Amino acid sequence: MENGTSSGMSDDVEALWETVESKRYELCRTISPAKLTPYLRQCKVLDEQDEDEILNSMLLVSKANRTSRLLDILHTKGERGYVAFLESLEFYYTDLYKLVTGKEPTRRFSTIVGKKQTFGCSTYA
């Protein structure tokens, strides 16, 4: 689903991530990465190594640093990372979901991409 921009992500996907970036300070201040990583692993947008780095790296000395690294990793996953992140916000941080999207949470997962679902996670057929 990429259209060949130099970063490997479409302009549309970059625009979606810009909405997250514009709220980065509030997200990093509020989110506890340990709360989101199990869901993001289940969705297969993070692997065991990503989770270990986010939660256990000695270089990431604060919760805000860990959340910032989580956002950076998810950004590299493009649209899948964006959708899974929003789903995790909708489930665990409804106020932040509204802050990022401007919408009320619906608890209906994968409505953004409209692809096959597995345990509420967005997956691609």
Mean pLDDT, each 10-residue run in order, the chain (125 residues)? 50 90 97 97 96 97 97 96 95 95 78 44 51
pLDDT at 115: 43
**Which residues, other chains included, contact 13 with Cβ-Cβ below 8 Å and sequence gap of 6+?**
2, 78, 79, 82
- Give the model's pLDDT for residue 111: 42
Q: Phi first, then psi: give them for residue 82, nearest 5 degrees.
A: -65, -50
Is 2 contained in some domain? Answer: no
Give the tokens for residue 60. Answer: 């990431």
Structural domain for 22, as ranges:
11-122
The burial of 16, by beta-carbon neighbours within 10 Å (0-12 exposed, 13-18 middle, 19 or more buried), is given as buried
Cβ atoms 40, 84 nearer than 8 A? yes
- The DSSP symbol for 102 reads S
**Per-residue confidence (pLDDT) for residue 43, from 0 to 100:** 95
Q: What is the pLDDT of residue 12?
A: 86
Residue 3 lies in a domain: no
Q: What domain count does the chain have?
A: 1
- CATH code of the domain in which 25 resides: 1.10.533.10
